[in-house]
Amino acid sequence: MISRSEQHFIRINLITIIVTLMVILAGGIVRSTGSGMGCPDWPKCFDRYIPPTDVSQLPADYKEKYVAGRLKKNEKFAKYLESMGKVALADSIRHDRSITVPEEFNATKTWVEYINRLTGVLAGIFLFLTLVYSFTYRKIAKRIIVLSALNILVVGYQAWLGSIVVSTNLAQWVVTVHMLLALVILAISIYTYNYAKQLNKTPSVIMYRILWLKGFLLFTVMLSILQIILGTEVRESVDVVAKSLSNGLRDTWISRLDSIFTYHRDLAILVVIANAIVYKMVIDRFSGKAAPLLTARFILVTLLIQLLSGFALAYFAFPPAAQALHILFSTLLFSLQFYLYLLVYRTSTYKQ
């Protein structure tokens, strides 16, 4: 029997997962509209809590001011990297001339980025509430408290890294790490949600062997993470091409990419095959309204939308809406696969 306080935790945890996905969608919109530098400072936007809507509201000498601020922050970041032995990386940041080029003010891009930040704040609030409600399990499942606290630390690091994303003028590798940390936050939230839901339930027992499904599911999760990394690198390469063409000739962007796009496209074929095998294995082992079977069906729908958005990006001049959908559904695919793995992990084979 799940107590009322436990139900509150499960509900808050689920909302946290949904809001985190909203943050990723907002980030995808920022990327697809080129609004990443809409706010040149962090956490404020043009030194205001409510962003400007007109150039007349900007601080005096704002371009020089924010470039100087970015250079100062990047010097601290470079010293941090040097302390970790990343000397070459630190030097590349110090000598990156693109950081000294100020962005022109654009009210639309400023507000797109600002809404993205507000969504991030909302996710932070729900993650904190998740931690507060996790103390319901202080006597029966302390790992929920530990993981919820760990997620707060990861979010804090993610917020700091967000400031680095701005100060480095969207340095490519920083954006990739920023995305991977979002997956970590999601994975922890999904784990605590599933663990809390299954805590008072008896583990499932089926008549069929489950070990192969567990192993193959873990493989598909790792495959999706690799695909997301490659996809992020493809997006970074597209940014370079778009900048070189002054954001014109969109229908030629994909053809100008290097082999990273080919790897990403070819790996998508393996992702489809792997998920099809998982679905076949799940329907062979579960029936009716079993949670693993329902989750596997959601995975197929998500994968279909993911493929269609990827097809639109490759063959229809990189439409911005497809970019945001592609990022969202790639993350949703990872989330569902990980959740399915957790469900199957607690399932065992009946032994006479």
The pLDDT score that the predictor gives to residue 277 is 93
Report d(CA 205, CA 173) in Å as an integer: 44
Measured between alpha carbons, how far is 138 from 288 in angstroms, rounded to an integer? 35
User: For residue 174, is pLDDT > 80?
Assistant: no
Q: What is the pLDDT of residue 96?
A: 74
**Mean per-residue pLDDT of the chain:** 86
Q: What is the band of 207 on the pLDDT scale with cuts at 50, 70, 90?
A: low
Mean pLDDT of the 159-178 span: 71
Phi, psi of 45 (to 5 degrees): -125, 110
Between 160 and 326, whose confidence is greater?
326
| Predicted local confidence at residue 169, as pLDDT | 60
Question: Stretch 170-192: mean pLDDT, rounded?
Answer: 85
Q: Which residue has the higher pLDDT, 168 or 91?
A: 91
From 334, 328, 331, 214, select the one nearest 278 (Cα to Cα): 214
| Paired tokens of 307 | 């493929």
Return the pLDDT at 172: 63
Residues 203-352, CATH architecture? Up-down Bundle (1.20)
The pLDDT-based confidence of 154 (bands split at 50, 70, 90) is very high
* Residues 229, 181: Cα–Cα separation, whole Å: 12
Unique residue bearing structure tokens 């020089």: 64
Pick from 6-20, 56-70, 181-195, 278-292: least confident: 56-70
Rg (CA), the chain: 22
User: If we measure between CA atoms, which residue out of 70, 74, 78, 77 comes closest to residue 39?
Assistant: 70
Q: How confident is the model at residue 84 (pLDDT cuts 50, 70, 90)?
A: confident
Q: Could you give the CA distance from residue 347 to residue 206 in angstroms, rounded to a whole number?
A: 7
Model pLDDT, residue 205? 67
pLDDT digits (tens, 9 = 90+) for 114-131: 998 899 899 999 999 999
Half-sphere exposure for 289 (CA within 13 Å, toward CB)? 0
Please report the pLDDT score of residue 77 as a whole number. Answer: 78
Q: Hey, what are 284's tokens?
A: 């062979």
User: What is the average pLDDT across 274-288?
Assistant: 89
- Please state at what angle helix 172-198 crosses helix 142-167, rounded to 10 degrees: 160
Which of 43, 253, 238, 281 has the alpha carbon at shortest distance from 159? 43
* Percentage of the chain modeled with pLDDT above 70: 94
Mean pLDDT to the nearest integer, 22-34 = 86
Determine the pLDDT at residue 272. Answer: 94
Please, which pLDDT band fits residue 160 given cuts at 50, 70 and 90?
confident
Angle at 35 between CA 33 and CA 38, to 5 degrees: 155
Least confident of 117-121, 153-157, 251-255: 251-255
**298 or 40, higher pLDDT:** 298
Tokens (6 digits) for 255: 């053809």
List Cβ<8 Å contacts ≥24 apart for 306-311. Answer: 306/330, 306/333, 307/268, 307/272, 310/265, 310/268
* Residue 235, pLDDT score: 81
Give the pLDDT band (50/70/90) at residue 306.
very high
pLDDT for position 210: 81
By CB atoms closer than 10 A (0-12, 13-18, 19+), residue 272 is middle
**Length of the chain as a residue count:** 352
For residue 288, CA distances in Å to 282, 294, 316, 341, 349 come to 12, 9, 40, 19, 18
Q: Look at residue 302 in the predicted model and tell me its pLDDT.
A: 96
DSSP string, 185-223: HHHHHHHHHHHHHHTTSPPPEESS--HHHHHHHHHHHHH
- 206 φ/ψ angles, rounded to the nearest 5 degrees: -125, 170
Distance CA 287, CA 223 (A): 26
Q: What is the mean pLDDT of residues 313-340?
A: 91
Residue 336: what pLDDT?
96
Domain map (residue ranges) of the chain: 1-201, 203-352
**Residue 168 near residue 174 (C-beta atoms within 8 A):** yes
What single-letter amino acid sits at 227? Q
d(CA 154, CA 188): 10
| Angstrom distance (rounded) from CA 280 to CA 82 | 49
Distance between CA 80 and CA 78 in Å, rounded? 5
pLDDT grade, residue 236 (50/70/90)?
Answer: confident
Tell me the β-bridge partners of 328. none
Residue 72 pLDDT grade (very low, low, confident, very high; cuts 50, 70, 90): confident
Query: CB-side exposure of 273: number of CA atoms within 13 Å?
Result: 5
